[in-house]
A and B are shown apart, each in its own frame.
Chain A
Amino acid sequence: MSAVWLVAKREIVTTVRTRSFIIGLIVTAVVVGVVAFLPKFFDGPDKYTIGLVNSQELPLKQALPEAEFTFKTFQDRAAATKAVLDGDLDAALVDGTTVLTDGQIETELGVLMQSVNREVKLGAAGVNVPPLAMESVGADTRYEDARRGIAFLLVIVLFGLVIQSVSMVAMGVVEEKGSRIVEILLASLRPWQLLVGKVVGLGVIGLINLAVVLVVGIGAAVASGFAENFPPGMAGIIAGTMIWFLLGYAFFATYSASLASLVSRQEEVGNVLGPMMLTVMVTYGVSIYATGDPSSTLSTVMSLIPPFSSMVMPVRMAAAEVPLWEVGVAMLIMMAAVAGIAAVGARVYERAVLRTGARLKFTEVLRSR
C-alpha cells in the first residue's frame, strides 16, 4: 500500500507543480465563473423605471417581488413622453388611466400593471379579489430549466475532465515505458502497484480540478443570485457527480493505461487510445441527449449500462428525480465493470510494459503468458 501511495504522491506533486496544471486551473475557474454568471446577463434583470404623472404608485413590487421598480414623478404628460422616448422610462402612468410606452409595452409589465391597477381600483371600491391559487397536477417543473442547465454544464465538465485525466495517465505510462524507467521501477514495485499508484495520483488531480469547478461554479451562482434557482438536493447532486466522476475515471484510466502500455512512443498514444476515446465520445453524446430528455427509455437504459452510466447517471440525477434504487443498481454494475477492466487491464499492462519496440496487440498480449 505504501508503495502505491509513493507512486501516487509523485504523480500529484510533479503534476501540481507544472505550469500547465496551474494555468489549466485558472482558465477553468475563469470559464466556470463566467458561465455561472451568464444567466444573469441574458435573463436581463427585471428592473423597471416607471414615470408617474398625476398618479399614485402602483404596488407592483407586491405582485412581483423578484423585480425592482423605480418610480419617478413628472410635472406633465409632455415631460413624461420625452423621458419615455429618451429611454429613461419603461412606461409612464398618466392620470391613473393611461400608460405611455415607446412602442408596444413589454408583455410582463403590461399584464402586471393592468392587473395591479384593477386590484387597486376594486379594492378602493370595497371589492376584495382573492388571488388565484396555482397548482400543478403534473411533475414539479419549477426547477426544470435550472436542472437542465446544471446537467448540461456537468456533462461538459465531466467529459473534459475524463478526457484530460485519461490522457495524462496514458502519457505517463508511455513516458515510463519509452524511457525504460519502468525497468528500475519494476525491480522494486509490482506492476499493479505502479498502475494503481498512477491512476490514483492522477485521479486526485482530476478531483482537484472538479472541486475547483464546483466551488467556483457554486460560488459564482450564489454571488449572481442564480443559486436561488437551484433545485432542492443540490448537495446530493454534487456528491453524486464526484462519485460518478471517480467511477468513470477509474474505468477509462485503467483501460487507457493498459492500451498505452502497448506502445513505446508518445506519438503512438493518440492512435492506440482511438477506440476508447470513441467510447468516451459516445458516452458524451448520450449524456447531452439525456440532459434534454432525462426520463426517456434511452436515457434510463444508458444510465444503467457501464461505462455510459458514469456520465449519463449524474446527468439524469441533476436533470430529474431518479429513484434511489436505480442509482444504486447503476453504481453496482459500474463498480463491477471497473473491477473487470482493472483485472484485464492490469494483466495486459504487466505483460506489455517491458516489451519496448513495435506496437503490441491487446488481445495477443492478453493471451500471452
Chain B
Amino acid sequence: MLEITGLRKQFPGGKVALDGVGFEVRPGELYGFVGANGAGKTTTMRIVMGVLLSDAGQVSWQGRPLDADTRKRIGYMPEERGLYQKMRVAEQIEYFGQLHGMSAAAARTATNDLLERLTLTERRNDAVEALSLGNQQRVQLAVALVHDPELLILDEPFSGLDPIAVEALSTVLQERARGGVPVLFSSHQLELVERLCDAVGIISAGRMVATGSVETLQAAAGRALKVVVRGAEPGWADGLPGELAVQGDRHVLVTSGGDDQEILRRAVKSGHVEHFGFERASLTEIFKEAVA
C-alpha cells in the first residue's frame, strides 16, 4: 500500500503548492487523482518519486518510508514527457529497464514483450524522433512499464491520446491493477476516471477535498431523486423541494431532499409516473461540489 501523509510544499517563490496532502492507494486499486490545473497533482507525484523534496510529510510503501532503492521498482510517467530523441526505441526501453536494476538479458526480454504488445516491434530500431507522437507516447509508457513495476505513478497519462489509444491504455492499466499493482494516475477526464477507477482523490489548491471509492463519494454526495410524470396538472409539485422541468407534457422533478414517499403519492395522483428513481451523482458533480 502506498501511503501519503501530510505533504507540504512551498516553492521558493513563496507559493504554497501543497498544504497537508494525504491519501492511500491500495494493492490492485486504480486511483484517480483529479484536480484543476495548478491544484498540486504534479507536485505531489514528483515528491512521491523523490524528484522534488517536500517541506513536511511522509510517503511510505508497504509501511516503510519510500527510499531510492524502492523507487527503482516504481513505474513513473512524468507529466512532461521526455525521451532521448536520437536513441533507438528498443535500446531506450532496455536502458531504462537496466537503470531500474534489471539485467541486460531480462531488460531485453521485457522490451521485446512490450514492443510486441504495443505493436512497436517494427519500429524497434528507429530513432524515437522518427516516430509519430502517438507512438512516442507508447514508448514513454513502455519505459514506465519495462521493469514490471510494483507500483505505477502516471501523471496525466491520457492527455493527448486519441480514443483508441485511451482504450488501449485503460486496458493496460486495468491489467496491471488486476495483477495487484496499485496504480495512481492523474487526469482531467472525469468521465474516464469515473469509469476506470476504484478510488479517487480530489485535490484543490493544495488540499485534498475528497478521497474515497467512487461509490462512497457518490453516497456522501447524496443521491438525487428523479421523477418523471406524464400529463400531470400544472402546479402538482408546488411545495415540493427540488427543481421541476417541463418538456411538453413531461414533468421532470429532480430533488435531493424531502419525503420520497410523499413525492411518489403526489406524482401518482397527478398523472402517469414514467420514472421514479435515485440517480447517482456523477464524478463531475461531485468534483464541482467539492471544489466549490
**Interface residues in chain A, defined as those with a beta carbon under 8 Å from any beta carbon in chain B:** 3, 6, 10, 14, 18, 175-176, 179-190, 354, 356, 368
Contact = CB atoms under 8 A, between A and B. Distances in A.
19 contacts: A3-B99, A6-B95, A6-B99, A18-B86, A179-B83, A179-B84, A180-B80, A181-B82, A181-B83, A182-B82, A183-B80, A183-B82, A184-B96, A184-B143, A187-B50, A188-B100, A188-B101, A190-B68, A368-B12
Interface in B2-16: 12
A189 B12 CA distance: 24
Contacts of B101: 188
A179 B85 contact: yes
B98 interface: yes
Contacts of B72: 188
Contacts of A184: 76, 78, 82, 96, 143
Interface in B44-68: 46, 49-52, 68
A175 B84 CA distance: 8
Contacts of B82: 176, 179-184
Contacts of B80: 180, 183, 356
Interface of B, helix, strand, loop or mixed by DSSP: loop
B133 interface: no
Given A6-B98, A10-B95, A354 B51 contact: yes
B188 interface: no
B196 interface: no
Interface of B: 12, 46, 49-52, 68, 71-72, 74, 76, 78, 80-87, 95-96, 98-101, 143
Contacts of A18: 86
A260 to B, nearest CB: 16
Contact of B71 (A10, A181, A187): A187
A243 B71 CA distance: 38
Contacts of B46: 183
A331 B80 CA distance: 44
Contact of A187 (B74, B81, B85, B87): B74
Interface of A, helix, strand, loop or mixed by DSSP: helix
A176 B84 CA distance: 8
Contacts, number: 57
Contact of B78 (A10, A176, A180, A189): A180
A96 B101 CA distance: 88
A184 B100 CA distance: 10
B99 A189 contact: yes
Top 7 A-B residue pairs of the complex, sorted by shortest distance between their CB atoms: A181-B82, A180-B82, A180-B80, A179-B82, A183-B78, A187-B49, A188-B99
A14 B87 contact: yes
Contacts of A182: 82
A176 to B, nearest CB: 8
Contacts of B71: 187-188
Nearest to B87: A14
A14 B76 contact: no
Contacts of B99: 3, 6, 185, 188-189
Contacts of A356: 80
A72 to B, nearest CB: 65
Contacts of A179: 82-85
Given A18-B86, A176-B82, 14 more contacts: A6-B98, A14-B86, A175-B84, A181-B84, A183-B49, A183-B51, A183-B76, A183-B82, A185-B99, A187-B71, A188-B71, A188-B96, A188-B101, A354-B52
